[in-house]
């Protein structure tokens, strides 16, 4: 290597100006802790409770007939009445979604003989979001009265979860800080700072509610509905730096 080239290379190395190659990957900088500091990892969980403000229900019609066309026609006629009842109850179009339309042959089985088709079964199911829970019982009654012979639910939920989760996050963070302060005091130290926060996930837990009563009742009494309470939880892993 020529003396001039050697000098240029040495200068570049000394000044740290050599660039990385295209294939080189940056190295993650490890978390630095002062020599007089101690890291403390604290796990904390907190919950926030709310009364549900929406309910999800699935309703459908199942019909049977000797041939496929008849089964589908009868099903469509009954399902049209069910959907009309949903609309009449004030449920918005965006809150009604078809979950499935099915047509299946029905068989008769006999020993040592091939199955024989005896008819067809058609089904149509919609998922409905009810945003006025006070009307839910009467909506369910109206669906059954207009032809729905399959009803599943309700499952209760909270429409806007973020503020509720934020409440749980603040409570979990306060709990983590209180525990960190306790450890620090026991060690004769103080909490200097939060190094990292990791939210490991949360989930909504509905409180048990009574089963829907679908028995025949007086006309002016709707199916009783109890929304109960939903619980949203948050889990945090918080790393603190302790020191003098």
Q: What is the pLDDT of residue 72?
A: 97
When computed from its CA atoms, the radius of gyration of the chain, rounded to whole angstroms, is: 32
In which band, very low, low, confident or very high, does the pLDDT at 33 lie, cut at 50, 70 and 90? Answer: low
Q: What is the pLDDT of residues 72-131, one digit of tens each?
A: 999 999 999 999 999 999 999 999 999 999 999 999 999 888 999 999 999 999 999 999
Q: What is the pLDDT of residues 56-89, one digit of tens each?
A: 999 999 999 999 999 999 999 999 999 999 999 9
Per the CB < 8 A criterion, the answer to whether 75 and 123 are in contact is yes
For residue 49, count other CB atoms closer than 10 A to its CB: 15
Q: How far apart are CA 78 and CA 123, in angstroms?
A: 10
Q: What is the pLDDT of residue 36?
A: 74
Q: What is the pLDDT of residues 11-26, one digit of tens each?
A: 444 444 433 333 444 4
How far is CA 77 from its chain centroid? Answer: 34
The residue ranking higher by pLDDT, 220 or 125, is 125
Lowest mean pLDDT among 70-74, 200-204, 239-243: 200-204
Mean pLDDT of 30-48: 83
Q: Which of 230, 60, 55, 212 is nearest to 130 (CA)?
A: 55
Q: What is the pLDDT of residue 205?
A: 58
Q: What is the pLDDT of residue 170?
A: 97
Average pLDDT score over the chain: 84
User: Phi/psi of residue 242, each to 5°?
Assistant: -105, 150
Mean pLDDT of 151-165: 95
Q: What percent of the chain has pLDDT over 70?
A: 77
Is the pLDDT reported for residue 239 higher than 60? yes
């Amino acid at each position: 290597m020529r003396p001039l080239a050697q000098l240029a290379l040495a200068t570049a190395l000394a000044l740290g100006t050599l660039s990385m190659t295209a294939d080189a990957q940056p190295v993650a900088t490890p978390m630095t802790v002062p020599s007089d500091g101690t890291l403390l990892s604290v796990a904390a969980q907190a919950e926030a409770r709310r009364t549900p403000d929406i309910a999800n229900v699935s309703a459908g019609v199942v019909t049977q007939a000797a041939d496929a066309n008849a089964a589908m026609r009868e099903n469509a006629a009954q399902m049209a009445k069910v959907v009309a009842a949903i609309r009449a109850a004030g449920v918005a179009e965006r809150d009604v979604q078809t979950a499935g339309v099915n047509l299946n042959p029905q068989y008769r089985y006999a020993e040592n003989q091939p199955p024989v088709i005896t008819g067809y079964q058609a089904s149509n199911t919609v998922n409905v979001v009810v945003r006025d829970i006070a009307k839910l019982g009467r909506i369910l009654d109206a669906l059954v009265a207009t032809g729905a012979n399959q009803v599943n639910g309700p499952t209760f939920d909270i429409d806007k979860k973020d503020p509720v989760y934020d409440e749980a996050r603040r409570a979990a963070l306060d709990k983590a800080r209180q525990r960190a302060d306790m450890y620090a005091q026991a060690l004769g130290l103080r909490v200097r700072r939060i190094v990292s926060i990791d939210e490991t996930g949360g989930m909504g837990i509905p409180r048990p509610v009574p089963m829907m009563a679908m028995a025949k009742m007086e006309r002016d009494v709707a199916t009783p509905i109890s929304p109960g309470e939903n619980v949203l939880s948050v889990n945090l892993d918080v790393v603190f730096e302790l020191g003098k």
